[in-house]
Amino acid sequence: MSMTTATGVHILFYPYPTSDHIIPLLNLTQRLLIRGLSVTVLVTPDNLPLLEPYLSTNPSSFKQLVLLAPNPVISCPPLKRLVSNIRASCDLHYPMLLQWFQSQSSPPMAIVSDILLAWTCHLASELGVPRVER
């Protein structure tokens, strides 16, 4: 069985910053790395250890890791906390991601982001790239 490769294809992955959301997205990332894609993963410093197994098996395929500022700690009921965290991630990360994306000589061709990060649809639209929800 021959495996096709996608040399030169660069994808940005943005998981919601909890392990139960990061790990499935990293499993997808692993499959794309095997096919020869370059990947940039956005993570907070607290979640960097979750990437260790992927970094050790595919060190040259990861184009880069972008460390995001963690969301502020919000004390409120769980559902309100989730909504507040999503809003905070947009407020904190949208401008930084827009600037980062525009500064790249070979920017990602697509954004794969968590279902909870629906605001990345607007980011992708502004950047003129497709966004895939995972």
Calpha distance 130→40 (Å, rounded):
15
Say yes or no to pLDDT of 41 above 70.
yes
Examine residue 119 and state whether it is found in any structural domain, yes or no: yes
Say yes or no to pLDDT of 68 above 80.
no
Distance, CA of 54 to chain centre? 14
- DSSP letters of 13-79? EE--SSHHHHHHHHHHHHHHHHTT-EEEEEE-GGGGGGGHHHHHH-TTTEEEEEEPPPPPP--S-HH
Pick the closest to residue 70 from 38, 97, 94, 92 (CA basis).
92
Q: What is the pTM of this model?
A: 0.80
Amino acid 6: pLDDT: 56
Examine residue 51 and state whether it is found in any structural domain, yes or no: yes
Examine residue 24 and state whether it is found in any structural domain, yes or no: yes
Look at 34-38, 63-67, 108-112 and tell me which has the smallest mean pLDDT: 63-67
Examine residue 49 and state whether it is found in any structural domain, yes or no: yes
Say yes or no to pLDDT of 132 above 90.
yes
Say yes or no to pLDDT of 5 above 50.
no
Give every CB contact of residue 70 below 8 A, 6+ residues apart in sequence. 17, 44, 45, 46
Examine residue 5 and state whether it is found in any structural domain, yes or no: no
- Longest Cα pair distance anywhere in the chain, in angstroms? 53
- Catalytic center residues: 21, 114
Examine residue 113 and state whether it is found in any structural domain, yes or no: yes
| β-bridge pairing 110-113 and 10-14 | parallel
Look at 17-31, 41-55, 57-71, 117-131 and tell me which has the smallest mean pLDDT: 57-71
Report the mean per-residue pLDDT for the chain: 80
Task: Report percent pLDDT > 90 for the chain.
Answer: 25
Domain count, the chain: 1
Domain membership of residue 104 as a residue range:
10-133
Task: Take residue 27 and report the two structure tokens written for it.
Answer: 């499993």
Examine residue 4 and state whether it is found in any structural domain, yes or no: no
Q: Residue 121's domain is classified under what CATH number?
A: 3.40.50.2000
Look at 45-49, 55-59, 71-75, 115-119 and tell me which has the smallest mean pLDDT: 71-75
